[in-house]
Structure 1
Amino acid sequence: MDHLDELKAFARLHARGQGITERQVAAVLPRITNDEPGHPASWARVWTAEADRLARAGRPLDACRRYALARFPHHGDTDRARAQANCVRTFDDWRRRRGIGRLVLDHPDGTVACWTAGLDARRRRPLVVVSGGIVSVKEQWAPLLPKLARLGWAAVATEMPGVGENTLRYGPDSWRLLPFLLDRLAGRARVERTHVLGLSFSGHLALRAAAHDPRIRSVHTVGAPVAGFFSDPRWWPRVPGITVETLRRLTGTADEDALRRLLQDFPLGPDTLASVRVPVGYVVSSRDEIIPAGDQRLLAAALPRVRFKEFDDVHGSPAHLGPMRGWLIGSLLRARFGGGPGPAPVPAPPPVTAGP
């Protein structure tokens, strides 16, 4: 499959996850003939034109979703960077009357932006941190925040290093972003009762952080890479080109060989996973083209308190969005109110504060 065909295939999946219908996608994709920056029939220009039309019609959230596709899979050229900025701007227009706040944090290595709901210094609630994978921006998940707040949480949607407005570089220590967030949110949420909804590659960060930071009380994820994705040379040739290209950009590696050398420092081994003593909910996609099946087997063997839900789908289970979200919310509620699987937690090491 060539680059443009991959883009179109991924777009169909990610559009569905954002509530864009197949018919709406089918009306746009035939107009895209290339991925050359500046070309009027290019990926970014055609999706941007569609988003501009919706923005002019007073439909900022629909426009935001098209801008998110225009900047897909990352904002690595001028057209995509413009779409990324417009994605944030139109979501900002939409969210103001819906109880969603904005928070920008200065990190020693850059800037981290978040959308928030339910943060309150006078009435601190348990915290949910929501973060997507390497190709999805926080605007795709932030509409969930008011629902989470109504369920009694303080909720924050953010992004992985290098994704969207997050200017940090993705690397083996990127899991430290989560302790950093908890440190900064401590006055406005009960961070000692934090639950992480970390989708795809964010799930990997969440599992690594949970092994070290006892403030993280549960992890819920969809298709998180664990070990084999990063280290198995037999699996790597199957990984989609867009995934490889995006990882190379987020890590700042010069080429694929350099990327694969760096990724050898990412796997979570049995000892690390055995330290994750909190409930873990993991959605498995039976036809996952990115995550090898061996990663699920490793989790099943090493995690003391894991629960799986499987859908017959590709990575992220986009065709099962409703049931998947329902299962994840149920998993969050079960963990919050003490019904997580497995034995009771044991004491963990003290919190790790993020540094440079």
Structure 2
Amino acid sequence: MNDVEELKQYVGAHARAQSMPPGHFEKLLDRIRTDDEGAAGSWAREWYEAGERLEEAGQYLEACRHFNMARFPYVDGPARGAALERCVNAFDRWRKETGGIDRLDLDLPGGRVGCWTSGLSRHERRPLLVFMGGIVSIKEQWAPLLTRLDRLGFAGLVTELPGVGENTLTYGADSRHLLPQLLDAVADVADVTRTYCITLSFSGHLAMLAALEEPRIRGIMTVGAPVHDFFTDRAWQAQVPRITVDTLAHLTGVPAADVGEHIRDWAVSDRQLAGLSVPLAYAASTRDEIIPAGDPRRLRRHVRDLRIVEYDDVHGAPHHLPEMQLWGFLSILRMKGGHYLPRTVLRYAHLAHRTRRRLAARRA
């Protein structure tokens, strides 16, 4: 059973990422008292019932977001399993009404991977932008971003880490092979020789390893990705939040007590970092409770083409999301080149957010 107070602490970043007003989700969290399977006042039930009310009102995207929170952080029983199913169905209804987003299911060695896509075409093969969240965020959380990619000149594919959401693969040391398999699957309908990745947290680690072997990956943007010390520092691992350890145990199929040893050799070596030939944009948080400060410092020492930004925030920089999203897309466009008008628009929008933040800090 999950620690309800810890769930409340860490769900805020994901609620904000989905544009939920704090006043709204905080009231809902106040009603949650337990994580007992299906019980009144339980995590899954309160979020699920809120999603049902929104779905009945025809607000399918908002319903999807609430069902997503109901299955958070991962499916561990019937209640969260039902929430994930309703989440996917609600998103499917929203994207059919909205248009421009398609479904893609891939049968790969080891399991099935669900994806949402946009702009795939045999007649106009565009550069591909792959978007993937971390160990607790599903593709429906990020897929609405696909509606923005046409104006940026990309085809898009949003999917999940192995073991997350509808991805039935097991998360392991060889999970880096997922990205090349995705590129192979859409090679006829996108210019996968120019692939860029927005891969958040643990999927950023996966993308770095994949890029060492996959020349079709041309650039990576990530937020709070583990690199080396997270995997090797036993003292740091001892204070990592329980929700992170339990989720990794669920995805890898090992007991929580064994997670640290199981992932010990997943660290990206200094030699591998020095061999990373593609641009890397990395958003770090100075108060990150999951990723040790040594990991971004290691990137500074060894990665040859690195852009790094730091926020005075916790993991995922939830209080800086609009500014960070603009910085991320702007970083990808710099890597890709061309399309100067979208880059200029994003640059000025990012500058405005950054200026407001610094002025607010000075007033404080």
What TM-score do you get using the length of structure 2 for normalisation?
A: 0.91
Secondary structure, aligned partner of 1:288: coil
Distance in 2 separating the partners of 1:126 and 1:49: 40
What letter matches 1:277 in structure 2? S
Distance in 2 separating the partners of 1:275 and 1:249: 32
**Residue 205 of structure 1: CA displacement?**
0.3
Secondary structure, aligned partner of 1:226: coil
The answer to whether 1:104 aligns with 2:96 is: no
Secondary structure, aligned partner of 2:51: helix
2:114 — aligned with what? Answer: 113
Distance in 2 separating the partners of 1:43 and 1:194: 38
Distance in 1 separating the partners of 2:99 and 2:288: 35
Structure 2, unmatched stretches of 5+, are 340-364
2:152 — aligned with what? Answer: 151
**Residue 260 of structure 1: CA displacement?**
1.6
RMSD: 1.2
Distance in 2 separating the partners of 1:123 and 1:102: 19
- The structure whose residues are more often helix, as a share, is 2
Distance in 2 separating the partners of 1:234 and 1:129: 34
The answer to whether 1:22 aligns with 2:19 is: no
Distance in 2 separating the partners of 1:69 and 1:55: 15
What letter matches 2:161 in structure 1? M
User: Does the CA-based 8 Å contact 2:277-2:304 persist in structure 1?
Assistant: yes
What letter matches 1:101 in structure 2? D
Deviations 1:7-43 (Å, cap 9, x if unpaired)? 0111222111110111101221121110011212110
Distance in 1 separating the partners of 2:87 and 2:176: 26
Deviations 1:216-262 (Å, cap 9, x if unpaired)? 00000000000111110110122110000000000000x23322221
Distance in 2 separating the partners of 1:30 and 1:323: 29
* Higher RCO (CA 8 Å, separation ≥ 6 residues): 1
Secondary structure, aligned partner of 1:141: helix
Distance in 2 separating the partners of 1:82 and 1:313: 33
In the TM superposition, what are the counterparts of 1:181-330 in structure 2 within 5 Å?
Answer: 181-253=182-254, 255-330=255-330
**Residue 149 of structure 1: CA displacement?**
2.2
The answer to whether 1:68 aligns with 2:81 is: no
What letter matches 1:287 in structure 2? R
Distance in 2 separating the partners of 1:26 and 1:219: 34
The answer to whether 1:39 aligns with 2:39 is: yes
What letter matches 1:326 in structure 2? L
The answer to whether 1:331 aligns with 2:331 is: yes
Distance in 2 separating the partners of 1:144 and 1:5: 30
Deviations 1:168-215 (Å, cap 9, x if unpaired)? 000011011001001111001000100010000000000000111110
Secondary structure, aligned partner of 1:238: coil
Distance in 2 separating the partners of 1:289 and 1:121: 44
User: Does the CA-based 8 Å contact 2:116-2:159 persist in structure 1?
Assistant: yes
What letter matches 2:129 in structure 1? V
Deviations 1:294-329 (Å, cap 9, x if unpaired)? 001111111110110111111111111100000001
What letter matches 1:12 in structure 2? G
Deviations 1:269-310 (Å, cap 9, x if unpaired)? 011112211110000111111000000111111111011011
**Residue 338 of structure 1: CA displacement?**
7.8
Structure 1, unmatched stretches of 5+, are 340-356
Distance in 1 separating the partners of 2:263 and 2:102: 35
What letter matches 1:6 in structure 2? E
Distance in 2 separating the partners of 1:325 and 1:13: 13
Secondary structure, aligned partner of 1:234: helix
1:343 — aligned with what? Answer: none
Give the fraction of aligned pairs with identical amino acids, expressed as a percent.
Answer: 50
Distance in 2 separating the partners of 1:88 and 1:322: 25
What letter matches 1:89 in structure 2? N
User: Does the CA-based 8 Å contact 2:18-2:65 persist in structure 1?
Assistant: yes
Distance in 2 separating the partners of 1:23 and 1:237: 33
Distance in 1 separating the partners of 2:127 and 2:22: 37
Secondary structure, aligned partner of 1:327: helix
Distance in 1 separating the partners of 2:37 and 2:231: 31
What letter matches 2:252 in structure 1? T
User: Does the CA-based 8 Å contact 2:116-2:143 persist in structure 1?
Assistant: yes
What letter matches 1:112 in structure 2? V
Q: How many residues align?
A: 337
2:56 — aligned with what? Answer: 56
What letter matches 1:316 in structure 2? G
Distance in 2 separating the partners of 1:299 and 1:131: 21
Distance in 2 separating the partners of 1:268 and 1:176: 15
Distance in 2 separating the partners of 1:199 and 1:191: 20
